[in-house]
Amino acid sequence: MKRTPLGWGVAVVAIALLAAHWAAVRANSTSAPAIEGWQRGKGWGWVWGKDDQVGSLNAMTQQSVLLAIQLVKEGKVYDLGVTYDRTSFKWPGHSPGEIMTFRSPVGVKGQNDLPALANASGTAWHSCALFINDNVATQIDGLCHATQGDDNHWYNGFKEADWGGDWGPRKCDATTIPPIITRGVLIDMAGYKGVDALPGHYSISIDDVKGALKRQNTTLQPGDTVLIRTGTLRYWGETGADHEKIKEHDSAGMSLDATKYLVEQHGAIIVGSDTSGYESWPAPDNSKSFMPGHNYLLIQQGVHIAEFQYLEDLAKDKAYEFLYICLVNKIKGATAGFTLRPVAIR
């Protein structure tokens, strides 16, 4: 049958409408790539066996690492760590750190018990002693960090009476956090709201998350590290010494419902933000915990929490998708990977 110009036009329009329809179906589909351990509507949970200490990070595989690495197109590296010293802001429940010179050139040269070494050049060294809380500066909470119940249990049912200790918890400490290499996603909430930083105590809702993702044209995938920008760290400066200005915004964060949305509907493998505590503060009046997001993520879901992640440069470049790499210091008994220097690469 011979096609008229009008007939061809109708056919082209029909094809375009059909393509648009299926694009919308795919964009709003409830299906998601299969990932071990995660179930839509439920999240993760204690699904890795009674001895597991790793949680949702078990879902990282060689394939997921390769896919994340393929996100790198420009080779641009973003430093997500903040500089820390004794003056830096911290959450009130943590203690400040102190860095003290333990060996100095003068002290080294003044000792008489050093081995006899050829040293005509006058060589000496510096080394420092650190007195520091393991939940300061850029960090990732270990799964032993939060406890609940009369038995003070944490992830996977490990109990204080069985696994506590004078030298730190003996299950789910920082050494059990594997090298983290995932797809990273920035959700710029401050940008979405059109403010430099979210106001103090602002609780980010599910609708906020959806709106920010739509504005960015960003899609979440199971296995993502999802980082929420409130804008708080724009006030960190060199070492976070302006406590009042940081405190003004640091209590903004994710609501429990929005956190559940990231984990149960999208399979986030790590969640985090640019504040000291990730979730909004204080907790709702009807909450059974003063930090319900921590209880849900660390204890119930086995999802690590990244805090004080510096996200300003990513937001400035509108770099919403990237390779996320974080290597935790292996200090046995520590409850978190602390004073870290994670990177995003695009």
pLDDT at 257 over 60: yes
0.85 exceeded by the pTM? yes
CATH number at 169 reads 3.50.30.50
3-state class of 189 per DSSP?
A: helix
As a whole number, mean pLDDT of residues 259-276 equals 98
In angstroms, the CA 345 to CA 181 distance is 11
Note whether 229 and 213 are same-domain residues. yes
Q: What is the pLDDT of residues 210-225, one digit of tens each?
A: 999 999 999 999 999 9
As a whole number, mean pLDDT of residues 257-273 equals 98
Q: Is the omega angle on the peptide bond into residue 282 within 30 degrees of 0, that is, cis?
A: yes
Note whether 116 and 264 are same-domain residues. no
Note whether 71 and 152 are same-domain residues. yes
Domain assignment present for residue 34? The answer is no
Note whether 138 and 234 are same-domain residues. yes
Looking at residue 37, what is its pLDDT? 97
Note whether 84 and 105 are same-domain residues. no
Contact between 231 and 44 under an 8 Å Cβ cutoff? The reply is no
Note whether 161 and 286 are same-domain residues. yes
Q: Where are the beta strands (DSSP E) in 115-220?
A: 127-131, 139-141, 180-188, 203-204
- Token pair for 295: 């209880």
In angstroms, the CA 334 to CA 272 distance is 19
Note whether 327 and 226 are same-domain residues. yes
How many domains, the chain? 2
Give the lowest-confidence range in 23-27, 29-33, 249-253, 258-262: 23-27
Note whether 157 and 302 are same-domain residues. yes
In angstroms, the CA 150 to CA 17 distance is 59
Contact between 264 and 303 under an 8 Å Cβ cutoff? The reply is no
Q: What is the pLDDT of residues 118-131, one digit of tens each?
A: 778 888 889 999 89
In angstroms, the CA 159 to CA 273 distance is 28
Closest Cα to residue 92, out of 324, 257, 250? 250
In angstroms, the CA 160 to CA 178 distance is 23
- The number of residues making up the chain comes to 346
Note whether 159 and 212 are same-domain residues. yes
Note whether 139 and 249 are same-domain residues. yes
Q: Which residue range is the domain that position 74 belongs to? A: 55-91+133-345
Confidence tier at 113 by pLDDT (50, 70, 90): low
Note whether 120 and 142 are same-domain residues. no
As a whole number, mean pLDDT of residues 41-52 equals 97
Domain assignment present for residue 30? The answer is no
In angstroms, the CA 145 to CA 278 distance is 14
